[in-house]
């Protein structure tokens, strides 16, 4: 039998005896014979599926076929006589092969490029790694354990503690486990790539249409590392700063999880694991949120006390108690939990709606409802808006599917009406019978009612009990405080004949103010300064009380009043807002984010190619802008340790170039997702999964405008993002059930 006929199955290959005889009489290598046997088994399985009316199509073995042909060409080169004799037949066979490949490519384009295919002997290790990833990701948000972080000379400039250390329960250990998981995944991949024979070439990251996310992820990682190396404060780079804990190792861990999700979730069994992991994780979050709302926080139970602390510290764990009425469970901050709810709701709802398993559908819908409630209980505006926006986008997509007939119209309409009726009834009942729930919902929707008053009205109300400061100026030995009513009070330091430092006060016109002493403080008869009092201590510290909860402190040294911070050190000058005027019009907007965003933008020109390094935001931000802090937070004792914007955070940590790389990665996903989910939706068992992950990524991107990247939430995002990238990439999903 001719070699090309054998390689192209141009004989009675279905007959077992004929096939064995053909192999025996051939001059193929053992590797080629093994490939032909596997190919025959695959084709026989495919014939059986087609006979049963299955929609499964052929798996793309073009790469393997090309290897066989190349091998054959090499051997034919050693036999010129045979090659000349078979030249014509070989050319015909090659043309047929190219036509066949062209037909398959056209077919892939017609159905959206993603075909659920069958493949024999799929490596069990891949499914096992996917299962471990799912278990890890479902548990990670609830990891909590005591970690004591000693303050260093650098960090104590921003964080004060009587014990000289800060105890963390919810963040550090999450980052630690992310790093460990990333190392494990990296070792597994390296082992597969270099030490295990790749019979099927089944490493998805090698596929051409996954090169873009691979390249962009690599560039982002390199810029992160280079920014860390160039950082001024390298001690904060690796694991991040206290109360934040998202350092270089943690972010690199996210990227490895992202790549691993693309690599190991390319088959049906792994995607089933993914579906269950998402639903179970969301269900747990909903249950724990309701528990905490009802007054039984998970983190305050006896069971968690034993899990969260070593034996000699259990009493410390038992004493944990949240002073906030906002629900946050093991996410440390209610905004973090709200972001998590916004991320998880769309994918959970999509997986529940698309499941044919009644039990999983019911559990999924309950989990989606629970995660939506969690967003309300968290009092996080961004989280609730993300859930609401996710609902709207899901509804629009499913309406498009309904019109096109992509989903069963009668069944889906009945399901939609039933779900809407139950949701509306439940929402109405809770709103009318639970005043606290109604108050929370109103608070979240109106962003704490902060937008009901204009800036001028808020300042006018504040002026009743405060000296509403507009600017602080330093001029030699003088310190001047201007308010929004046009008044100025000036404090001047001077030394008396005995060399003792004293202070005196002047009004707007420069006239000396009469003072009286009340409880060791200087007070004024002048009505303009009724809310001001000053205290000057024997240690030359000036305590300024303008009616706010906390006082400003200045140290008089070198004949100048210098801001005195945390009782530790002085600053040469007072920081002031230097950002865009657009934000300066109302620095308290978006819960004070206008102040942070505007100030952050003011120093981005220092972060073009490289950033300041992971964990260094707190050292770069011009802290102790007393005027702005008093206006926004009503206290001068506030440390800004994060930008409250994911994109600004990336720009500061690793540079504007890395931000552009990240935006390109996200934008490419949105384009592919829009094509695969909306324009040309693929109708298979994973249609709803694609919808869910697509909307979840959009929700997280929107929440990223008002919230940072958190170690409580970001690992799950990058996991979902990776699974979503492969799902919309046009690559085939391998049938392994």
Alpha carbon distances (Å) from 102 to 67, 107, 130: 18, 9, 33
DSSP one-letter code for 508 = T
Asked whether the beta carbons of 282 and 276 are under 8 A apart, the reply is no
* 504 sits in which H/E element: strand 501-506
Q: Which of 610, 487, 503, 518 is nearest to 560 (CA)?
A: 503
**What φ, ψ does residue 493 adopt, rounded to 5°?**
-95, 145
What backbone torsions phi and psi does residue 553 show, to the nearest 5 degrees? -125, 130
| DSSP codes joined into one string, 543-554 | EEESSSSS-EEE
Distance CA 652, CA 709 (A): 13
| Residue 541 in tokens | 């510290």
Of 633, 568, 552, the C-alpha closest to 161 is: 568
CA-to-CA distance for 405 and 394, rounded, in angstroms? 16
The helix (H) or strand (E) run that includes residue 471 is strand 469-475
What's the Cα-to-Cα distance from 494 to each of 115, 501, 529, 569, 635, rounded to whole Å? 83, 6, 22, 22, 28
Give the model's pLDDT for residue 82: 47
Q: Are 252 and 175 in contact (CB under 8 A)?
A: no
Query: Whole-angstrom Cα distance, residue 81 to residue 67?
Result: 23
> Which of 514, 561, 568, 523 has the alpha carbon at shortest distance from 541?
561
What is the three-class DSSP state of 200? coil
Residues in the chain: 737
Query: Distance between alpha carbon 729 and the CA centroid of its chain, in Å?
Result: 21
Mean pLDDT by 10 residues, the chain (737 residues): 72 78 78 76 67 42 38 45 48 50 42 48 84 96 94 88 88 96 93 67 80 96 97 94 92 97 92 96 95 89 90 88 84 92 95 88 91 90 89 91 82 73 70 67 58 80 91 93 94 90 94 88 91 92 92 92 84 90 90 94 94 94 91 89 95 97 97 93 88 96 93 96 93 81
Distance CA 553, CA 565 (A): 7
Q: Which residues neighbour 228 within 8 Å (Cβ) at sequence distance 6 or greater? A: 234, 237, 238, 248, 613, 614
Q: Are 652 and 643 in contact (CB under 8 A)?
A: yes
Q: Token pair of 524, please?
A: 């004024």
The phi-psi region of residue 567 (left if phi > 0; otherwise alpha if psi is between -120 and 50; otherwise beta) is left
Give strand pairing partners of 469. Answer: 483
* E strand intervals along 186-285: none
How far apart CA 571 and CA 575 sit, in angstroms, is: 9
Separation of CA 622 from chain center: 26
Tell me how many degrees the CA angle 613-619-625 measures, rounded to the nearest 5.
Answer: 140
Torsion sign across C-alpha atoms 168, 174, 180, 182: negative
Q: From the CB of residue 265, how many other CB atoms can be counted at a distance below 10 Å?
A: 27
CA atoms 334, 339, 342, 343: torsion sign: negative
The residues near 447 (Cβ < 8 Å, ≥ 6 apart) are 381, 590, 591
CB 286 within 8 A of CB 352: no
DSSP-derived secondary structure for 288-336 = HHHHHHTT--GGGSHHHHHHHS-GGGHHHHHT-----SS--TTSSSHHH
State how beta strands 501-506 and 569-570 pair: unpaired
3 state SS for 342-380 = HHHHHHHHHHHHHCCCHHHHHHHHHHHHHHHHHHHHCCC
**Are residues 87 and 709 in contact, defined by beta-carbon separation less than 8 angstroms?**
no
CATH class of the domain at 467-547: alpha beta
Residue 175: which H helix or E strand, with range? helix 172-195
DSSP state of 57: B
| pTM of the predicted structure, to 2 decimals | 0.82
**689 contacts 277 by C-beta, under 8 angstroms:** no
- Residue 593's nearest CA partner among 446, 390, 382, 387 is 382
Q: How many CB atoms lie within 10 A of CB 601?
A: 18
CA pseudo-torsion sign 30, 36, 38, 40: negative
The confidence score (pLDDT) of residue 68 equals 36
Return the closest-CA partner of residue 493 out of 509, 510, 473, 478.
478
Q: What whole-number distance in Å separates Cα of residue 732 and Cα of residue 684?
A: 12
Joined tokens for residue 670: 């949105």
Query: Which DSSP string do the residues of 379-402 spell out, in sequence order?
Result: T-HHHHHHHHHHHHHHHHHHHHHH
Measured between alpha carbons, how far is residue 213 from residues 216, 505, 662 in Å?
A: 5, 64, 10
CB 313 within 8 A of CB 319: no
């Amino acid at each position: 039998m001719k070699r090309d006929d054998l390689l192209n199955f141009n004989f009675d290959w279905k007959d077992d005896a004929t096939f064995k005889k053909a192999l025996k009489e051939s001059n193929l290598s053992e590797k080629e014979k093994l490939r032909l046997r596997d190919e025959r088994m695959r084709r026989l399985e495919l014939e059986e599926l087609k006979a049963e009316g299955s929609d499964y199509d052929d798996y793309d073995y073009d790469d393997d076929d090309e290897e066989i042909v190349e091998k054959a060409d090499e051997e034919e080169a050693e036999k010129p006589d045979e090659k000349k004799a078979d030249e014509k037949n070989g050319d015909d066979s090659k043309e047929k092969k190219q036509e066949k490949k062209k037909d398959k490519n056209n077919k892939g384009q017609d159905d959206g490029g993603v075909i659920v295919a069958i493949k024999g002997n799929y490596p069990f290790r891949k499914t096992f790694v996917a299962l471990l990833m799912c278990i890890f990701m479902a548990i990670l948000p609830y990891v909590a354990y005591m970690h004591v972080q000693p303050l260093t000379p650098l960090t104590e400039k921003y964080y004060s503690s009587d014990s000289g250390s800060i105890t963390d329960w919810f963040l550090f250990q999450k980052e630690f486990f992310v790093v460990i998981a990333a190392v494990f995944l990296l070792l597994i991949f390296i082992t597969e790539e270099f030490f295990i024979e790749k019979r099927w070439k089944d490493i998805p990251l090698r596929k051409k249409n996954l090169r873009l996310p691979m390249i962009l992820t690599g560039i982002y990682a390199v810029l992160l590392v280079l920014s860390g190396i160039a950082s001024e404060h390298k001690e904060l780079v690796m694991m991040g700063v206290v109360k934040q804990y998202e350092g270089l190792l943690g972010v690199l861990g996210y990227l490895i999880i992202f790549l691993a999700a693309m690599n190991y979730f390319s088959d049906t069994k792994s995607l089933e694991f993914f579906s269950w992991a998402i639903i179970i994780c969301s269900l747990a979050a909903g249950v724990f949120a309701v528990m905490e709302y009802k007054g039984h926080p998970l983190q305050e139970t006896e069971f968690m006390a034993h899990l969260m602390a070593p034996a000699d510290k259990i009493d410390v764990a038992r004493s944990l108690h949240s002073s906030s009425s906002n629900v946050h469970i093991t996410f440390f901050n209610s905004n973090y939990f709200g972001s998590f709810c916004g991320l998880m709701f769309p994918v959970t709802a999509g997986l529940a709606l698309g499941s044919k398993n009644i039990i999983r559908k019911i559990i999924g819908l309950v989990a989606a409802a629970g995660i939506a409630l969690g967003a309300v209980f968290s009092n996080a505006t961004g989280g609730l808006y993300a859930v609401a926006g996710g609902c709207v986008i899901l509804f629009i997509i499913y309406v498009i599917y309904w019109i096109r007939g992509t989903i069963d119209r009668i069944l889906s309409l009945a399901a939609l009406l039933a779900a809407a009726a139950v949701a509306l009834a439940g929402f109405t009942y809770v709103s009318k019978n639970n005043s606290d729930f109604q108050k929370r919902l109103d608070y979240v929707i109106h962003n704490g009612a902060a937008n009901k008053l204009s800036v001028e009205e808020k300042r006018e109300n504040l002026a009743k009990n405060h000296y509403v400061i507009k600017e602080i100026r330093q001029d030699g030995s003088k310190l001047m405080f201007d308010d929004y009513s046009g008044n100025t009070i000036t404090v001047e330091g001077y030394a008396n004949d005995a060399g003792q430092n004293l202070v005196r006060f002047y009004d707007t016109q420069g006239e000396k103010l009469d003072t009286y002493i009340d409880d060791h403080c200087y007070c004024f008869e002048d009505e303009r300064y009724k809310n001001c009092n000053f205290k000057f201590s024997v240690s030359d510290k000036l305590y300024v009380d303008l009616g706010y909860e906390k006082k400003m402190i200045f140290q008089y040294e070198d004949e100048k009043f210098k801001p005195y911070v945390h009782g530790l050190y002085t600053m040469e000058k007072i920081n002031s807002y230097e950002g865009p005027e657009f934000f300066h019009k109302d620095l308290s907007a978006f819960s004070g984010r206008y102040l942070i965003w505007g100030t952050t933008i003011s120093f981005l020109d220092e972060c073009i190619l490289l950033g300041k390094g992971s964990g260094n935001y707190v050292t770069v931000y011009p802290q102790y802008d007393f005027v702005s802090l008093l206006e926004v937070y009503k206290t001068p004792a506030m440390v800004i340790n994060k930008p409250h914007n994911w994109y600004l955070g990336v720009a500061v940590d690793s540079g504007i170039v890395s931000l552009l790389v990240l935006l390109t990665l996200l934008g490419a996903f949105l384009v592919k997702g829009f094509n695969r989910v909306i324009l040309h939706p693929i109708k298979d068992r994973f249609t709803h999964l694609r919808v869910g992950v697509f909307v979840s990524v959009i929700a997280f991107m929107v929440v990223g405008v008002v919230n940072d990247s958190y170690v409580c939430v970001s690992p799950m995002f990058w996991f979902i993002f990776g699974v979503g990238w492969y799902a919309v990439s046009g690559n085939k999903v391998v049938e392994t059930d």
